[in-house]
Chain A
Amino acid sequence: MAVCIAVIAKENYPLYIRSVPVQNELKFHYTVHTSLDVVEEKISAVGKAMADQRELYLGLLYPTEDYKVYGYVTNSKVKFVIVADSSNTSLRDNEIRSMFRKLHNSFTDVMCNPFYNPGDTIQSKAFDSMVSAMMVQAS
């Protein structure tokens, strides 16, 4: 399960960041922000022509001592970042993939909301609850 889930706009500002240990929020912000460099690197590594067939899931962006950072980029260049605990070995690539897919679907729902102004921070309750479901329950 994730400890931090973030949605980053095309222009690289956060649309949504949520992390489970709230006291460490700042650290996760830094982590997610730094991971954008890797995301950009990975996107630019794929050639222009291949951009259409590019897989949205970017895989593990980089591991730190405590966390693993995974990335996902939609076709509209909105980035999803999931930070998972390194100690959680049960988490497999496939599960991460499905988490991203769920996140993407939920995000699409948010975007379809006619009252949502693209570029605003996401305040949807449905999205929030979906993210909460994917997060580690803070005990």
Chain B
Amino acid sequence: MAQCVQSVQEFIQDSFVPMVAVLCSEDAEKVTRKNNLNFSELLRPFCRLTSEGHMRDPSNQLQVVKNLRISVNNVVTRPSVPSSGVPGHAHRRLLSEVVLTCQPAEGGVANVITAGDYDLNISATTPWFEAYRESFLQSMPASDHEFLNHYLACLLVVSSSEAVPVEKFLKLSQEQHRIQHSGEYTNPKWFIPNTLKYYVLLHDMSQGDEQRADSVYEDMKQRYGAQGCYLLKVNSRTAAAGADEQIPDPWSQYLHKSSLQSQVQLGPRLSVPSIYLLMYRTSEVDGHDSEEKGSLDNTHPLQLDTPSDTPGSLDALRAVAVETKPPPLTTGVAAATSHGACLTLNDHDRIRLFIQEFTFRGLLPHIEKNIRQLNDQLVSRKGLSRSLFSATKKWFGGGKVPEKSIAELKNTSGLLYPPEAPELQIRKMADLCFLVQLYDLAYSCYHTAKKDFLSDQAMLYAAGALEMAAVSAFLQVGAPRPYPAHYMDTAIQTYRDVSKNMVLAERCALLSAEVLKSQAKYSDAATLLIKMTSEDSDLRSALLLEQAAHCFINMRNPMVRKFAFHMILAGHRFSKAGQKRHALRCYCQAMQVYKGKGWSLAEDHINFTIGRQSFTLRQPENAVTAFRHILTNDSQQTSTQQGAFLREYLYVYKNVTGACEVALPQLPLPCINSSATRVYFGHERRLAEGEKQAATHVSLDQEFDRDLAAMWQDLEEQVVAAAKRGVVPATFQSTQCCLNSQTDNLRFPLAVVEEPIIVEVVFRNPLKVPLVLSDLSLLWKFTLKDFNRPQTQEDSVGDAVPISNEKEAISINFFCLIPLCLLPQARLKLLPHQTGQLNILGLVYNLASTSSTGDTTINTAEGTSVRGRQDLEIQGPRLNQTKEEKTSVSHGPDRRLDPTITPPMPLLEVFFLQFPTALLCGEIRKAYVEFCNMSRVTLCGLRVASTHPDFFTFGSSSLATPLTPLSPTSFENCSAYKTLATPPGATPGSVAAVTLVSEGDFGSGTGLRGGVSGAGTGGKGITEIPLGEGTLKPGESTQLPMWLRGPDQEGVHEIHFLFYYESAEKGGKISHRVLRHTVFICASRSLSVRATACRSNTLPEEEEEERNGSMLVFVDVENINSSEAGVREFHIAQVSSSSKQWRLHKCINPAEDKDCKLTSRERGKLCFRATRCKPLQEEKKQSAFPFSKSGVSSLQIITSTTPCADFFFRRCQPLESLRPPGVGHGGGDKDIAGVVRKCNEVDLDIIILWKAFVVEDNKQVILEGQLHVALQTIDKEACSLTPKEEAQEMVLLKFKPELPPPMTRPSMEQLSHLIKTNLQYPESYSHPFNQKSLCMVPVTLTLSNCSLAQVDVIIDLRHKTTSPESLEVHGSFTWLGQTQFKMQLGAQEVMRVQLRACFLHAGVYNLGTPRVFAKLADQGAMCETSQQTATPALIIIINST
């Protein structure tokens, strides 16, 4: 139970007080009426006696009566509560009004109770309960089995203005006698037959004659004795005069109370009464006739007799209550119904004195006398009668059981004992003793009475005795015996079950609970209270449940959950009883326990109830908050339940927003995944426009890829570096067009004026029911800031475009009903027209629920649709840099939604025409690029960076623009290459045209020019785009040809382009802009070219200066195309070479005309002779061999012009960079390895140009292409499909500084190539062996030094191999003459040694037996290495007989 203002003792004492009736003459009534009071009311504030009274108990002991209170009431002859025990309708209504008007004070002090991990905010006191209890006890009907609220005395009041006051007194006395004894009236019950009559003469000071009153009083004294009468002088002043003087009004607090019996009680005065209630009370002062009350009820504005509860009546109350706040108790009320207006403070004192006089002189002696009388009676009767009584019972009562039942029946139906029965006399005495605080005596009497009643089976009487026995035992000073709680339990049970008297049971329970509470037996109290709840009275049940809940929380180990549960039950009963406000309070208190503990079902229920109650109480804000909780939680409710919640919420919400249109409130649904919000700057791209294909750039449809983003950033950095002359500015920040959770959002993003900002918001529907969103728009704030001109205040126009496809998407959800279904993202566009700072704050939208009927067409008008907002708050990434940040959880800013709008910038659009998607490896295709400047600002500095710079070229800028057809449409089946008619007479394959080309002329050199070449990969992928004047005017567009070459590797290639451009006006906030493009090229296999260079063994004959400078180049071409259907055949159109030192000299194909065509899987071999030419500085020589036998084109392709040369150089570059500097170009002459390698090195690149005949849609198409082979070393095969990855990987291993290769000894293999040997001899030699048995053949051994260093050479002819095969052959010839030579060969020197071979027989001999050893001249320590033997040199010796 909650704490009370009164102590238990006070409470019990005040519950049972001596009752005094009042009979008033009309004149006396008039006198008091001046004060707006009747007589009993006049006395009421003074009924508590402040001084102690004394009386003697039957044993003549003097007892002190402390703090006594009496109750003065008008005589009312009708029962207010039927004694049947069922409270009447009016009574109930009164109680409910009492509770209703007593509400917790707003912002009242609530104490925090900590129980376990719960911190509860609970008001410790429950004044409404105390008010209820007080009213309830006051309205207790007088019953026959007890005398506690029977009248002990009667005040007969006569005014002094009466003509003959004594006669009037007589009349009143007779009246009283009639009421008590005539038997006409049952209701005012009287304690004792001879009721104390106290005669009061009321004298009005303002009008009556005081002397006359005094004389009448003297007369009265004579007649009734000084103890039995009193002269009360009142109304010392006139009402008009008293207006200026402030007299305290002690009546107001008593009379506001809705006390039916007009009893005076001291109690909490926390209620805030309304004027209505007040007037109602005062209009009713005459009596409390239930009839009258009933009639009043019908017109009363506060009536609550509609249990269905239209909130109207409550609201009326509320409206009034609000109006009268703060309660005008002293001013407003006093003006209307001031009490005691004619009374001075002196009068107050007189009244007080009167009461005291009456009590101590009249009442107490009367009671004392009666107690004594009763006691004497009982003592005299004791023993005999009792024993006789019981003895007779024993003797005659044969069958006890039936008697009992009869007794019980009698008990419940009517009166068992006559009023003079001795048992009742005991009870009467006990009650008297109890009233005057003689608790010891009272207890013993009650106890005796209890025994008697029990033995008589008079259960109701027994219960009453038990109840009072327990109470008086509790109240005994010093507590000689423990409180008999079981008495109470028995009493309650009897009242309830046997007597069916709920009112008495309730009174008993209230007393008992209070006593138990005082003894800290909260558990028992709770059980008791809970037991008392029943179906018949919701209000009582609610109040008792609430008290039970308070019991649980006040236990030593607070039972929080039980508290909460019973609070909910109480709330439920309150709401059933129509006490909405109390219900809401109960639910709110219970909510504290359930909140956030995972009991979602219960939490939802409470929230829902709170929402409903709040709404009916016109607290829609609270209702919305409560409903919002249900919807935001991850609800476990069923979908129908959720749908109901949602509808209710929307309805309530609509009412709230309808009421106030100030700011749009926040909506809880749907959830916005704010971190997934993406912001896109720029126009939405049209990807294709007719034939044109726009650059892919960035779009919201793309997923964010971290690697890709890094790649783009790298590209951008490269291109910026190239544009800024090799230095990346410190403030460099890569352009981010699309911001999401993974991008760097620390800085304010930059957006350009007049370019849209698209915000993509991701929704999540946590419910199982579909939600309909419509009319979405963005909420934003804009601060105007002019970056160029001085500040001007202009209105900014924001444009919010709703998304139209939203509803369709929801209709899908509607059918799926997936829990937690993801709504599609909404994209909202904002178009800034001014520069400044934009902040996107949130979303505004309409939310509606769909009908539950499963309609396919979703009608937004049908469901209630509300408009609300939701803020977009993005939490930045968690900071984790410093120690402080690591230990705490702090988040960085995220400025995704706060773009800065900058002045206009150029906007480039790039379109591609005839851009292929599939290419053969090495295929050359011409496409067109269109650059469009969409903005109003001139664009310049256009560059492109790519991940595959060898894939495309814009042609050489320095050379004259090739004659290309301007319109791409006329370009059909036209070769991409520039051709030159072959001179008609020239034999194909024999003529080698030589042109000189500089590498720098071609696009690949662009990056190298700025000195970036030293920085490695710095600018290799950057191409400057040759625009007309270097700028692109606003609205202008340029079309440029672009050549593409299929990648060498087959497969799908992802090729990225990054177009870079700047504004012509410098100094903007954005230094540059970029445009991204990604293409996917599917490359299929075409030809595989393998080439080998071999040293020719033949000696140059014609040109002596080209010493050892001839080489054989074999080119193997294989058709490896896998799609036989598509590609019919390949033609080798031309083979060109490019080298600084070599040139292809001559085609020495054995059957040259057959090798030009290659059908599927065919392989052809081409053979060329290459000769060394004079080394040229930095220029490459290109020689071309056109094979025009194919008949398609007899034109020679100029390989030194744009597409071909471009790709050739682009292709070369990575290889070039692969070669360690200094090693390849003769920089290491001193180094043996270098020297040795040098002699084996070829630097010859071969370009194979081919044509493929492809059938495409029954049409033959000729495709062209080129492949490159780089020959580097003699006798080492080079392939067009270089295993690039491997080579690149080796380069990329950069963690070690690139040292020159260590001075390793050149390998034997390499050293064996130092000297080239050649034997010169006649192929066949006829010798007449018959004539001369010895055949001598002169053989010239030519030694040529391949290296650039001096070489010591040893020629050994004696050498014999051990193999039997050679033995056999060798045995047949011998070398004659000097068999060992030692000589030195200078650089590239050729030396001939004359040898002679001697043969004995005719036959075929291998002359290649001389062994040549060589070593570098200055390397003394090194031993000679055997040089490679020449191919078998066979000689035929013919016997010429």
Contacts and interface: CB of A to CB of B under 8 A. Distances in A.
A94 interface: no
A29 B601 contact: yes
A65 B108 CA distance: 37
B879 to A, nearest CB: 27
A28 to B, nearest CB: 9
A66 to B, nearest CB: 15
A37 B523 CA distance: 13
Contacts of B597: 12-13
B383 interface: no
A33 B557 contact: no
A26 B594 contact: no
Interface residues of B, number: 18
Given A12-B597, A13-B597, A40-B116, A33 B560 contact: no
Contacts of B561: 33-37
Interface centre among A9, A14, A35 (most CB of B within 10 A): A14
Interface string B725-745: 000000000000000000000
A17 B597 CA distance: 14
Contacts of A41: 557, 559
B560 A37 contact: yes
A13 B595 CA distance: 11
B599 interface: yes
Nearest to A9: B598
Interface string B576-611: 000000000000000000100111011001000000
A33 B557 CA distance: 16
B568 A37 contact: no
Nearest to A37: B559
B584 to A, nearest CB: 19
A132 to B, nearest CB: 18
B634 to A, nearest CB: 11
A113 B597 CA distance: 25
A35 to B, nearest CB: 8
Interface in B545-578: 552, 557, 559-562, 564-565, 568
Nearest to B605: A26
Contacts of A9: 598
Contacts, number: 41
Contacts of B594: 33
Range of interface residues on chain A? 10 to 19
Given A12-B597, A13-B597, A37 B562 contact: yes
Contacts of B559: 37-38, 41
Given A26-B605, A41-B557, A44-B557, A33 B599 contact: yes
Interface centre among B568, B594, B601 (most CB of A within 10 A): B601
Contact of A33 (B116, B117, B552, B602): B602
A30 B598 CA distance: 12
A29 B116 CA distance: 20
A33 B594 CA distance: 9
A26 B562 contact: no
Interface in A1-58: 9, 11-14, 25-26, 29-30, 33-38, 40-41, 44
A14 B598 contact: yes
Interface centre among B559, B568, B602, B605 (most CB of A within 10 A): B602
Interface string B1138-1171: 0000000000000000000000000000000000
A12 B562 CA distance: 14
A81 to B, nearest CB: 12
Interface in A42-99: 44
Interface string B103-144: 000000000000011000000000000000000000000000
B116 A25 contact: no
Given A13-B597, A40-B116, A30 B560 contact: no
B644 to A, nearest CB: 14
B935 to A, nearest CB: 54
A33 B605 contact: no
Contact of A34 (B116, B557, B562, B605): B562
A48 to B, nearest CB: 15
A26 B116 contact: no
Interface in B515-558: 552, 557
A12 B605 CA distance: 19
A44 B556 CA distance: 12
Interface centre among A9, A37, A38 (most CB of B within 10 A): A37
A26 B609 CA distance: 13
A57 B564 CA distance: 25
Contacts of A33: 561, 564-565, 594, 599, 602
A25 B594 CA distance: 16
A12 B117 CA distance: 10
A8 to B, nearest CB: 9
A27 B557 CA distance: 25
Contacts of A34: 561-562, 564-565
Given A12-B597, A41-B557, A29 B562 contact: no
A40 B557 contact: yes
A34 B552 CA distance: 11
Contacts of B557: 40-41, 44
A12 B552 CA distance: 18
Contacts of A11: 117
Nearest to A25: B601
Contacts of A37: 552, 559-562
A30 B568 contact: yes
A11 B596 CA distance: 12
Contacts of A13: 597-599
A11 to B, nearest CB: 8
A12 B602 CA distance: 14
A30 B116 CA distance: 19
A95 to B, nearest CB: 27
A44 B559 CA distance: 12
A139 B562 CA distance: 32
A14 B564 CA distance: 17
A37 B565 CA distance: 11
Interface string B1252-1295: 00000000000000000000000000000000000000000000
A31 to B, nearest CB: 8
Contact of B602 (A26, A36, A38, A40): A26
Contacts of A14: 598-599
Interface string A103-123: 000000000000000000000
Nearest to A121: B598
B385 to A, nearest CB: 47
A39 to B, nearest CB: 10
Contacts of B116: 40
A9 B602 CA distance: 17
Interface string B770-785: 0000000000000000
Contact of A30 (B117, B552, B602): B602
Contacts of A36: 561
B1376 to A, nearest CB: 91
A36 B559 CA distance: 9
A40 B115 CA distance: 12
Contacts of A12: 597
Contacts of A35: 561
A9 B624 CA distance: 31
A23 to B, nearest CB: 10
Nearest to A36: B561
B599 A29 contact: yes
Contacts of B552: 37
A40 B562 CA distance: 12
Contacts of B117: 11
24 contacts: A9-B598, A11-B117, A12-B597, A13-B598, A13-B599, A14-B598, A14-B599, A25-B601, A26-B601, A26-B602, A29-B599, A30-B565, A30-B602, A33-B565, A34-B562, A34-B564, A35-B561, A37-B552, A37-B560, A37-B561, A37-B562, A38-B559, A40-B116, A40-B557
Interface of A: 9, 11-14, 25-26, 29-30, 33-38, 40-41, 44
The 8 closest A-B pairs by CB, nearest first: A13-B598, A37-B559, A34-B565, A37-B561, A29-B601, A37-B562, A29-B602, A34-B561
